[in-house]
Structure 1
Amino acid sequence: MHGPFLSLLWMSSCALLCAVLAGCAGNAPTPRGEVKGAATTPAELAQSDMNRVATLAMHENLEGLFRLMDKLYRRNPAEWRKTSATSRDHAAEQVRTAILQRQPWAPLQGRRDIAAMGFALAPEFAGDRVAAFIHATADMIITAHGGKTEFFLLDGIDAQHLYNAARNVESAVWLLAQRRNAQGQPLLLADEIGPHGRNLSFEREFGKVIARLDLLAALTTEKYRRAAISYVQGIVGGTFLQFLPVR
Structure 2
Amino acid sequence: MESAVAREKYYLRFIFPLLACFILTTLIGCGSMPKPVRNLGKTDVDFVMDVHAREQKELLMELTRKLYVRNPNQLRKIEDMTIEDRMLQIFGRPGELESKSLVFDELDGKTSIDAILLAFDESYQGDRVFAAMVGLTEMLRRSYNHQQEFFILDSLDEQSLYNSARNIEIFVWRLYHRRDSNGELYLLTNHYNEQQFDVSFDRIFTRMAMVQDMMALIVADKTNRSITKVAHGVVQFVFLPVP
Q: 1:136 to 1:107 in 2, by over 3 A?
A: same
Q: 1:218 to 1:209 in 2, by over 3 A?
A: same
Task: Give the Cα separation in 1 of the matches to 2:103 and 2:62.
Answer: 20
Q: 1:150 to 1:120 in 2, by over 3 A?
A: farther
Secondary structure, in 3 states, of the residue corresponding to 2:123? Answer: coil
Q: 1:196 to 1:138 in 2, by over 3 A?
A: same
Deviation at 1:54, TM superposition (A): 1.3
Task: State the TM-score, normalized to the length of structure 1.
Answer: 0.69
Deviations 1:155-209 (A, max 9, x none): 1111111000000000000100001123221111101233232111011001111
Task: Give the Cα separation in 2 of the matches to 1:106 and 1:68.
Answer: 23
User: Percent same amino acid at aligned positions?
Assistant: 30
Superposed counterparts of 1:158-173, under 5 Å: 158-173=157-172
Deviation at 1:150, TM superposition (A): 2.3
- 8 Å contact kept, 1:114–1:140: yes
**AA at the equivalent of 1:56:** V
Question: Counterpart of 1:240?
Answer: none
Task: Give the Cα separation in 1 of the matches to 2:37 and 2:136.
Answer: 30
Task: Give the Cα separation in 1 of the matches to 2:184 and 2:178.
Answer: 8
Deviation at 1:123, TM superposition (A): 2.5
Deviation at 1:129, TM superposition (A): 1.0
Deviation at 1:49, TM superposition (A): 1.6
Superposed counterparts of 1:10-159, under 5 Å: 40-97=35-92, 100=98, 101-159=100-158
**AA at the equivalent of 2:186:** L
- 8 Å contact kept, 1:68–1:202: yes
Task: Give the Cα separation in 1 of the matches to 2:212 and 2:179.
Answer: 28
Q: 1:89 to 1:73 in 2, by over 3 A?
A: same
Task: State the TM-score, normalized to the length of structure 2.
Answer: 0.70
Question: Counterpart of 1:195?
Answer: 194
**AA at the equivalent of 1:82:** K
**AA at the equivalent of 2:166:** R
Q: When you count helix as a share of all residues, which structure comes out higher?
A: 1
Cα RMSD (Å) of the superposition?
A: 2.3
Deviation at 1:64, TM superposition (A): 0.4
Task: Give the Cα separation in 1 of the matches to 2:68 and 2:144.
Answer: 27
Task: Give the Cα separation in 2 of the matches to 1:212 and 1:103.
Answer: 21
Greater than 6 Å deviation, 4+ residue runs: none
Secondary structure, in 3 states, of the residue corresponding to 1:150? Answer: coil
Deviation at 1:74, TM superposition (A): 0.6
User: Higher mean Cα deviation, 186-195 or 82-91?
Assistant: 82-91
Q: 1:184 to 1:41 in 2, by over 3 A?
A: farther
